Structure 1
């Protein structure tokens, strides 16, 4: 390892709760997060085991702009402006959640 650490070499810079600087390898970290979350959903929440197979389409869905809607249990893929691009819920269900348009309100309630 070199004597100096350059933030420009990092894909992601993260801090844990005590503000420790961490260096992530984005592809490996993203894969680990996906696999851990998928395993939890399958083993503890009864989701289909197909979720454990990481296809290119699944990888694209979960890589950037993914929101986990804990209140309603949906995974939502967003554009930079908050427009809903894809979701794991049916179109009919999505229309009921987003009757005001296909955008995700990112404003906190509190």
Structure 2
């Protein structure tokens, strides 16, 4: 089961300023988790501008599916940040993304809190 169209509840807009001068607008979207079965939830997630919509992310609770969807977005953006790709906020081209900004938005993937 997949909700169409998803109800997007959170998004982050990013601009990728590529070396060849082209610009790619990226929209990281997380949808409202929905119940699939008694003990199974799913959460829509997409990275428009790069990969589009992913398969919905499943978990045993709405919170787990939501957290896993957010973690997926971070894991897909991390390689761009680690290779010093020029990612900036759509609203502020002077603010370049780094691992600190990635973690501030999507949460740290570290084991300690």
Give the strand-richer structure, 1 or 2.
Answer: 2
Taking structure 1 as the reference length, what is the TM-score of the superposition?
A: 0.28
With CA pairs under 8 Å and 6+ residues apart, which has the higher RCO, 1 or 2? Answer: 2
For the pair shown, which has the larger CA radius of gyration, 1 or 2?
Answer: 1
Give the helix-richer structure, 1 or 2.
Answer: 1
Taking structure 2 as the reference length, what is the TM-score of the superposition?
A: 0.27
